[in-house]
Structure 1
């Protein structure tokens, strides 16, 4: 059998064998390491006697693994073979165990595996967990993961659309497909039922921005909305500051210094620390930064501005609760005098819009603020700085200006505009040119 020194160059030079023929080349340095060349493929392998029997074990093809990596794998395999381990038998046993695991694994088990091993590393991990536990586990949880077929996926997505949540249907497709792909990549499942499935609902662009009349109506409607005071203040603060709903809901008193709120990198969506100017209206919505300690009776930092209502949870309200509160108030059930749900002529539950505007999301409030700032003549650069958008191209590398002054001017101007829209007392609005010193 021919002997060569197996490297990328030497392997690339090997000519394909004649049709139906195979040629084995062995390495001149690592005994038992070789490459088999056929008319179509080149495959690395190891060969050594195991318990008296000559065993050949495949490593991988040359188009999928480098010669250097193949050599390292061969060293480990040959060492194991010298100890009496047959890699082919080991591979068969792993395949058998994987098959057994796939047969026994329920979708609920797979959800836990995905959340523990993959979603935990994602910024949106909590959102993935919530979606899977609400939309997937109740329907598929007890079923074997390997039994889920393409038709099951389609039926699940259609049922979500039929209840009036097309966007959620697309999101379920996105996350659940990732979960099954994860299972295939980890050799937990042999295949995914999501091959060839496309979103069943049209993907709509998120371009909603409220008009002046809508802002005015919404601001007044918050008074009658069926949500907590913290929810109302948080939603208003999204509109006032133009910041992301999740960043607002997680606000902590330690992040606020006078008129400036610093969102730490760990909480910012793009991973970059961000300074936000707080107008008087914003500070009014935030409220006191101190509270009287329950045990000490002394003044102490408040902590989370919008705390979770559960006393045993030392955390802010869940950012997911903001869009939930909005959706519920956009279609609040109408209850009769007898305390029972009323229905319309079509037999569907009767609802009322307690927010007095057409469908919107908390993120649309952020877009609304940005749209008004653009309408007042502020340049995109300044608005992007307010929104904490990452600079693009060469500007990202060379422009290190913080835009603090410009951000303050834009948010103060937007504050005055918002005050005029909502008919707040003009005497409480701070002029743009006036500088403020606040001790809090």
Structure 2
């Protein structure tokens, strides 16, 4: 007899001495949880359509796949089955034929692995496409469903939503020859978020000084990470996902590997004395390779950037004792560094090298012959920027001077080699 499954009931299920036992869910007819002698719990869907009974594995119960996830996936599978779609084949047998988007994606990614944008593609797939549509049959997703999916992403990240749609459309262009029941790419006429207006927000000197003060008051990982963004002009993901192995303290360099760089090229970031002081003060973790390990998941960098940014904005308003009329983002810090370097008289080519951009003298055919790495010039530029930032902080906020001694004192690590508790958001 079916009963309403709950997480408490699932956690309390006892494994049989031998064989398997099944427990049905009354909320989603056909959804069951199977528990074996090992104690492993697996969701399955048993659904009759016409004269045929389909038995489909929904997923293994665990921290990353709970009851709510199983119900959502089961309802989608039921909808597809009732619409006449075949049951999904195992991923290993269907990676090159029609099936779910998840089962087809490995072959698609292999076909794109030599692209410079392969890292960004994998990020979009794993963060957006698979969680949102991965368990749908590729030939059952409609134009309207894709429009709704993209609109939901666009509510918080409009630029990223356009990128997700482009990547999903590219997947369907690749998959279409394998999808006999799909006449056209469903992304082609799906709703597309409007192209965002190009941002030109640059933080003023007094805002930079205030933001440094905000960073001084933030715990790990946010305070030190915010300082590194201001000192290096690197991207948010490059800072928060950095490995300690990328940083050479003796050489005073941070090498961002090609797979983490947006343009697919390794990027050497010369570290100023101020940046080195910030990094040296970050306590190392014996059980994580990350500079900023996520709490509870030390193999990854921290999440919760949006909530942290909301907190930064509020703190900066309080620090400056006024509400900023123009909204700012973490990426605006990168633009501020670039603009600041230009104000200091740094050559455009050097500024582009600091940002790891491929344009101008490094773009197109010129880039084939222009092999200078600008390492010395980048170091001079970032050292000059660190000194300028220190002067700005001293000018507008004498209580939080930026120098090696103070930077280290403000975030002195606890006397332990273990990874301290970190705030992913608050």
Could you tell me how far apart the structure 1 residues matched to 2:386 and 2:345 are?
A: 15
Query: Can you list the C-alpha shifts for 1:374-402, whole angstroms capped at 9, x where unaligned?
Result: 11111111112222223124542333333
Cα distance, 1:220 vs. partner?
A: 2.2
- Say if 1:179 and 1:426 are closer, same or farther in 2 by CA, change over 3 A: closer
Q: TM-score, normalised by structure 1?
A: 0.56
Counterpart of 2:264 (choices 247, 268, 271) is: 271
- Say if 1:221 and 1:117 are closer, same or farther in 2 by CA, change over 3 A: same
| Structure 2 unaligned blocks of 5 or more | 1-82, 92-98, 318-323, 395-399, 406-426
Q: Does the aligned pair in 1 maintain the 2:169–2:187 contact within 8 Å?
A: yes
Match of 1:47 in 2: none
Match of 1:248 in 2: 239
Q: Does the aligned pair in 1 maintain the 2:100–2:137 contact within 8 Å?
A: no
Cα distance, 1:128 vs. partner?
A: 2.0
- Say if 1:264 and 1:428 are closer, same or farther in 2 by CA, change over 3 A: closer
Matches of residues 173-188 of structure 1 in structure 2 within 5 Å? 173-187=165-179
Q: Does the aligned pair in 2 maintain the 1:114–1:179 contact within 8 Å?
A: no
Q: Does the aligned pair in 2 maintain the 1:265–1:274 contact within 8 Å?
A: yes
Cα distance, 1:246 vs. partner?
A: 2.6
- Say if 1:306 and 1:157 are closer, same or farther in 2 by CA, change over 3 A: closer
Match of 1:418 in 2: 389
Match of 1:317 in 2: 301
Could you tell me how far apart the structure 1 residues matched to 2:192 and 2:264 are?
A: 30
Match of 2:355 in 1: 387
Match of 1:306 in 2: 292
Cα distance, 1:252 vs. partner?
A: 3.2
Extract structure 1 runs of 4+ deviating beyond 6 A.
none
In the alignment, is residue 370 of structure 1 matched against residue 338 of structure 2?
A: yes
In the alignment, is residue 193 of structure 1 matched against residue 169 of structure 2?
A: no
Could you tell me how far apart the structure 1 residues matched to 2:338 and 2:281 are?
A: 27
Could you tell me how far apart the structure 1 residues matched to 2:180 and 2:88 are?
A: 9
Cα distance, 1:267 vs. partner?
A: 3.6
Q: Does the aligned pair in 2 maintain the 1:242–1:370 contact within 8 Å?
A: yes
Q: Name the SS of the counterpart of 1:353 in structure 2.
A: helix
Match of 2:224 in 1: 233
Moved more, 415-424 or 253-262: 253-262
Q: Name the SS of the counterpart of 2:254 in structure 1.
A: strand
Match of 1:407 in 2: 378
Q: Does the aligned pair in 2 maintain the 1:263–1:273 contact within 8 Å?
A: yes
Q: Does the aligned pair in 1 maintain the 2:253–2:269 contact within 8 Å?
A: yes
- Say if 1:427 and 1:206 are closer, same or farther in 2 by CA, change over 3 A: closer
Q: Does the aligned pair in 1 maintain the 2:147–2:192 contact within 8 Å?
A: no
Q: Does the aligned pair in 1 maintain the 2:255–2:268 contact within 8 Å?
A: yes
Greater Rg, structure 1 or structure 2? Answer: 1
Q: TM-score, normalised by structure 2?
A: 0.57
